[in-house]
Amino acid sequence: MARRRESRPSQYSRSARLGELLREIVASEMAQLDDDRLSLVSVTGVETSVELSRATVYISALDDEVASEALEALVEHRYQLKQAVARAAAVRRVPDLSFALDPSISAGERVDEILRNLADEAEE
């Protein structure tokens, strides 16, 4: 008799679960890379396509100069990072990796600036 899969839906979609796994793998591999351009960079998230063939790795850095250098370094190390994903993740096809700055960081800074301005105006 064949085993029956449970009918309850999973808590997260498959692409979200793969994204979280890729975030952990890429962050761990970045820490092991001997590249000074990646020392002050953190992986904030990974967004995968629905068909799981592409993944965008979002990073954050202290300033724009560090971020641009980190993006260049990640592009250079793309193949090595993809190999690490292939070793660590049990997936049929390893997604192509692309890298981008996390837009939520700058959006959060903008919200903080607006709130500070409102607080300053309220004090006057």
Residue-level pLDDT at 84: 92
- Residue 85 CA to residue 104 CA, distance in Å, equals 25
Three-state DSSP at 108 gives helix
Residues 65-74 pLDDT 10s: 888 899 999 9
Where does 8-121 show beta strands of DSSP type E? 41-48, 54-61, 96-101
CA quadruple 61, 29, 44, 14: dihedral, nearest 10:
160
Three-state DSSP at 48 gives strand
Q: Going from the N-terminus, what domains does the chain have, and what CATH number goes with each?
A: 14-123 (3.30.300.20)
- Residue 7 CA to residue 14 CA, distance in Å, equals 16
The length of the chain in residues reads 124
Mean pLDDT of the chain: 86
List the one residue out of 39, 64, 54 whose CA is nearest residue 99: 54
pLDDT category of residue 90 using cuts at 50, 70 and 90: confident
CA quadruple 63, 34, 95, 64: dihedral, nearest 10:
10
Assess whether pLDDT exceeds 90 at residue 23.
Answer: yes
Residue-level pLDDT at 121: 83
Residues 95-116 pLDDT 10s: 999 999 988 877 888 898 899 8
Residue-level pLDDT at 78: 94
Looking at residue 47, the DSSP 8-state letter turns out to be E
- Residue 52 CA to residue 85 CA, distance in Å, equals 13
